[in-house]
Amino acid sequence: MDKIKPSDIILELGCGYGRVLQRLCKKAKKVIGIDISKSSLELAKKLLKGNLNYQLFQMNATNLEFPNNFSDMVICIQNGISAFNVDKKDLIREAIRVTKKGGLVLFSTYSDKFWEERLKWFILQSKAGLIGEIDLTATHNGIIVTKDGFKATTIRPIEFTSLTSSELPFNLKIEEIDNSSIFYQILVT
């Protein structure tokens, strides 16, 4: 949040019900949230009521309907890079495409050190009926699988580095925060 300037246009990929957007609206000039879930976007609209500097779109994060160099910052946090059922390289490439030169692209995933807490959270989500029943035989080593087919993984630093080792012009910084999250910060050059 400390990298956000009042003049920034920020795009959040996988904005869900708008929890992060709500905080971003207080910091940036314009905030745009995309998600593939219409019902999540409807919830976001209710949560963001009263804010005038946001827009919501139902859209796939690997096929963004925005021009090149559109935003100052693109964020895809809370493990979106592994939760989206898309090609990860395409997701990264598309996020970089819509980010202005000198802008930031921020992805986050869970640290292996956070495995036990993460699994507990998913079990609570399952018991609340928000996701399917956890398949404990297939769930292990950073991978959570439900019996209805949902799968959440983590993207470790070595994997993210291999996903981004292409001809794209950027600088990558990897930082672990509070033994729970790993942030991949791409400075677009």
What domains, with CATH codes, occur in the chain? 9-111+154-188 (3.40.50.150), 113-153 (no CATH)
Q: Which residue is listed with tokens 């869900």?
A: 16
What is the structure's pLDDT at 145?
Answer: 93
Strands (E), the chain: 9-13, 30-35, 54-58, 71-76, 99-110, 144-145, 151-152, 170-177, 181-188
Asked if pLDDT for residue 14 goes beyond 60, the answer is: yes
Instruction: Using the CB atoms, write b or e for 142-157: b if 16+ within 10 Å.
Output: bebbbeeebebbbbbe
Residue in 38, 184, 164 with CA at minimum distance from that of residue 89: 164
What Å distances lie between residue 117 and 47, 124, 129, 180, CA to CA?
Answer: 27, 11, 19, 9
What pLDDT digit, counting tens, does each position of 119-166 carry? 998 899 889 887 889 999 999 888 999 999 888 888 888 888 888 877
Q: Give the predicted TM-score (pTM) of the model.
A: 0.87
For the chain, the 3-state helix, strand and coil shares in percent, each to the nearest 5, are: 30, 30, 40
SS3 75: strand
What pLDDT digit, counting tens, does each position of 57-67 carry? 999 999 999 99
Asked if pLDDT for residue 167 goes beyond 60, the answer is: no
The separation between the first and the last C-alpha atoms of the chain, rounded to the nearest angstrom, is 21
